[in-house]
Amino acid sequence: MYSKYKIPFALAVLSIALVGCSSNKIKVEEAKPNPLPKLAQSKSLVPIFSHDVSATEQADPLRLQLDVDNGVIFALDPKGEVAAYRGKQRIWEKKVSKRGLSSGVTAAEGLVIVGNQKGQLFALDQASGEQKWQAQLSGALLSPALVQAGRVITLANDGTVFAHDLTTGQQVWAYKLQNAQFSLRGLASPVNLDGRTILVASSNAYVYAIDALSGVPRMQRRVAVNNGRSDIQRLNDIDGDPVVAGRFMVTSSFQGQVTVTDLAAMQVVWSEDASSNKRPEVADNKVFVAKTDGKLVAYDLGTGQLAWENDSLLNRQLSNPVMLGSDLVVGDLDGVLHLLDPNSGQLVGRSKTSGEVRSLRVIDNQLYVSTRKGALSVWQNR
């Protein structure tokens, strides 16, 4: 069955908190974010690029990620524009869609790929911004595309994976995932497994390996379970992109587990309860997870043993964690970028952007940040 009802993350969390209450007078106390802790050290980051676009609604999980190719930064505005920058100089800016844009930017092979909530997929020329082709999909595009093996791979909000020819835009294949009837509003992006195979995560905690050229599935594996009593309690989405680390695949799920799977043996190596709708980070033989309650945890990649846990940022609606040089970085609801020691979990510094941090990426040792308020920026270590 394909996904029918998409539930905003905040609404799902609130509904879970209310399950089991029988009183006619239900008083819901919103969990207050922890105040920013004092720091023994004061490291910070240096902004090297910034660009403001339109804000998105609080309930909308859009990841308005920046991308970079050949030294040019590409950014989109939710109102429908895409722009290209070399340094602080704008090269071009184009109005792409009157119906807005929602997928985040993917830049590769001379093209810029974006999509919108009406299922429209656009390919633009990187040098000029001129549209090369357009395709109509069966559902909204809420996560960035993947360019691989001459294909543009996308995941629509109805659970259909599409592959379009990179040059012509012609649809090559489509594969329908088995999705849950209820799911969070949000999608993981397709990710590269090898030169010909992609990984796609679904809203019912399955990960699929699919041949990028033919669309033939090569593997289907459930990586999380949930035995809740109600539809809301049984939500078990994988909204954070799977991570491939050598022979391991690392996944995290909402109200589920962080799981490490051996891709060669197709066996789960270990699995620990940890609710997260963000992409985990893997570095230095550790798995870093930002949980939905604001805890940051680190596990040993090979064994699953808990390395450390930091609860000083509780209820601060953390972004996905990333490694930037020797620091672990995570953003929060106030636009604070927190720097942690990845070996101990200790907070060692912070910097400030504007608005709730929705997405962090590290490309060529630079941090790419997007916020709900529409602040797009690039940072580096001081």
Q: Is the pLDDT of residue 256 over 60?
A: yes
| 356 within a domain of the structure (yes/no) | yes
- What's the structural domain count of the chain? 1
| 368 within a domain of the structure (yes/no) | yes
Structural domain boundaries enclosing 354 = 43-60+280-382
Q: Is the pLDDT of residue 80 over 60?
A: yes
pLDDT of residue 228: 57
pLDDT of residue 178: 80
Percent of the chain exceeding pLDDT 70 equals 87
| 347 within a domain of the structure (yes/no) | yes
| 269 within a domain of the structure (yes/no) | no
Of residues 57 and 51, more confidence is placed in: 51
The predicted model scores a pTM of: 0.91
CATH number at residue 331: 2.40.128.630
| 334 within a domain of the structure (yes/no) | yes
Average pLDDT for residues 39-59, to the nearest whole number? 90
| 189 within a domain of the structure (yes/no) | no
Secondary structure, 3-state, the chain? CCCCEEECHHHHHHHHHHCCCCCCCCCCCCCCCCCCCCCCCCECEEEEEEEECCCCCCCCCCCCCCEEECCEEEEEECCCEEEEEECCEEEEEEECCCCCCCCCCEEECCEEEEECCCCEEEEEECCCCCEEEEEECCCCCCCCCEEECCEEEEECCCCEEEEEECCCCCEEEEEECCCCCEEECCCCCCEECCCCEEEEECCCCEEEEEECCCCCEEEEEECCCCCCCCCCCCCCCCCCCCEEECCEEEEEECCCEEEEEECCCCEEEEEEECECCCCCEEECCEEEEECCCCCEEEEECCCCCEEEEECCCCCCCCCCCEEECCEEEEECCCCEEEEECCCCCCEEEEEECCCCEEEEEEECCEEEEEECCCEEEEEEEC
pLDDT band, residue 187 (cuts 50/70/90): confident
| 336 within a domain of the structure (yes/no) | yes
| 351 within a domain of the structure (yes/no) | yes
Average pLDDT across the chain, whole number: 89
- For the stretch 259-277, pLDDT in tens is 999 998 889 999 999 999 9
